[in-house]
Structure 1
Amino acid sequence: MIVFVKLLLAHLIGDFILQPSRWVVHKEANKITSKYIYFHVLIHFLVAMVLLWDLDYIQMVAIIAVSHYIIDLAKLYATPYFKLKSIPFFIDQLLHLIILYICAYYTDFWSHTVTLFQRLDWGLITALVFVSFPSAIIMGKLLEAMSDKIELDHKSLPNAGKYIGIIERLFVLMFIIMGRWEAIGLLIGAKSVFRFNDLKESNNRKLTEYILIGTLLSFGLAIITGIIYVTF
């Protein structure tokens, strides 16, 4: 476990702390001919070796460094084909983590992976999944008749309300699991403060009622989910 944690720390330091923005720009422009991609890989190698502080791991770290170079290079050439630049970024990070995991547990990879899955809290995973997109869809269906009667005179980010609802439900579920019910009240209060100015300016009673019902429904679904999880 400690080997994986140190490798993960080395990755975070190398990818997010010791990689200046100008390096990233230069790599994107010059790709394989950029000198900074080689500096970047070398930094990853050195940081990992310093954190592990054991020459017995040099071969493993070298494999990680080479794989890091290949993955980063593939991302540089693949990124222009993606409309959303965040997609290749997250794919890149996922592949790095998989390599780190495989290298850290290569001696008992299969047994460790099986044990890891056996220890997963599937009830918690189900609760987390439910309060995300399924709850958003359920709320959309429940509020469908009301939403048709709401006239919006302002623009907002695409799907912003849906993602705000998902995040708030995740927070509520987390607070219930932790037994911090008072934090839910603070979350409701904070959301009310942010919404107050918009509702005041719109002077739209239907919109106010719609948002209030949506908020209470969102919190209610998360609270019910949390209670079911901690009870069973």
Structure 2
Amino acid sequence: MTDFTSLLVSFLLIHILCDFYLQPKHWIEEKKEKKIKSPRLYLHSILHGVALLIPSLILKIEWINIASIITIVTITHFIIDLWKVSTTKGDAFSRFAIDQILHVLVLISTVFYVTDSINITELLQHDQMPEIILITFAYLLILKPTSVTIGCILSKYPISGSEEENVNGLVAGGELIGYLERILILTFTLVGSYAAIGFVLAAKSIFRFGELNKSNDRSMAEYMLIGSLVSVVITTLIGILVILSLDIDIS
């Protein structure tokens, strides 16, 4: 690995340890309750900064850069966590996702700052950057755009009678299941693990069997089957197009 990659991975490792394994639940509850007055908020932020001493010293980062890293990470972590426990906008998952993304962006920025072996221009001009962009595009394509496409297709096959009411309560859950299913299918397609795709489909079929068995209206079963098959077909085709474009050897 490059110096950039080694340092970034080690920083992310420290972040995961401090944020998820070294932060007891009562710390989190105290931060939510007392917010800026919580001693745990300050302690948690300092822990994140000081813990980065370990990989920095191992990888022989200069002391002036280490001091900058500790200061930046400590302060930004405090601000981000304070925002997270103080805001009530959005759902819990959205706040969690934004919180983690901001922390990771800070770590990436600090690594760019202290690493001489790579810069943004070199990273963008890396030989594998087109492949990374294409694969990222494929994953984005199978999420919301594919859900909208499936929704448009299913709109032509409305569920009749009372069965439609039963589906309405599961729209959000069904969409999340679809996201996870398509992510797994695309991943297994790109690595050539087609047997694993069959396992995913079989597992979903088993869980869905009870619902379909209880359904008194055949349209419910047909509706779910059409949605599942369209999802699988679109994701598989996108995966195959990526493989052909990148000339990936999956033999």
Q: How many residues matched?
A: 229
Aligned runs of 1:221-232 on 2, under 5 Å?
Answer: 221-232=234-245
**Bigger mean CA offset, 90-99 vs 8-17:** 90-99
**Aligned-pair distance for 1:149?**
3.0
Aligned runs of 1:52-67 on 2, under 5 Å?
Answer: 52-53=56-57, 56=63, 57-67=66-76
**Aligned-pair distance for 1:148?**
4.3
Equivalent in the alignment of 1:154: 166
Q: Is contact 1:150-1:207 (8 Å) kept?
A: no
Amino acid across the alignment from 1:146 = Y
Give yes or no for the alignment of 1:163 onto 2:176: yes
Amino acid across the alignment from 2:119 = H
Q: Is contact 2:159-2:223 (8 Å) kept?
A: no
Give yes or no for the alignment of 1:105 onto 2:109: no
Give yes or no for the alignment of 1:20 onto 2:33: no
**Bigger mean CA offset, 170-179 vs 84-93:** 84-93
Aligned runs of 1:1-232 on 2, under 5 Å?
Answer: 1-53=5-57, 56=63, 57-77=66-86, 79-80=87-88, 82-107=89-114, 112-118=119-125, 119-121=129-131, 122-149=133-160, 151-152=162-163, 154=166, 156-232=169-245
Q: Per-residue CA shift, 1:207-231, capped at 9, x if unaligned?
A: 1122112211111111111111111
Greater share of residues in helix: 1
Q: Is contact 1:176-1:227 (8 Å) kept?
A: yes
Q: 1:50 to 1:107 in 2, by over 3 A?
A: closer
Q: 1:91 to 1:158 in 2, by over 3 A?
A: same
**Aligned-pair distance for 1:199?**
0.9
Q: 1:99 to 1:131 in 2, by over 3 A?
A: same
* Percentage identity across paired residues of the two chains: 31
TM-score normalised according to structure 2 size: 0.82
Amino acid across the alignment from 1:191 = K
Q: Per-residue CA shift, 1:181-227, capped at 9, x if unaligned?
A: 11111111111100111111123322112211221111111111111
C-alpha distance in structure 2 between counterparts of 1:178 and 1:150, whole Å: 43
Which runs of no fewer than 5 residues in structure 2 stay unpaired? 246-251
Which runs of no fewer than 5 residues in structure 1 stay unpaired? none
**Aligned Cα root-mean-square deviation (Å):** 2.2
**Bigger mean CA offset, 136-145 vs 41-50:** 41-50
C-alpha distance in structure 2 between counterparts of 1:44 and 1:87, whole Å: 22
TM-score normalised according to structure 1 size: 0.88
**Bigger mean CA offset, 82-91 vs 9-18:** 82-91
C-alpha distance in structure 2 between counterparts of 1:211 and 1:175, whole Å: 23
Q: 1:209 to 1:148 in 2, by over 3 A?
A: closer
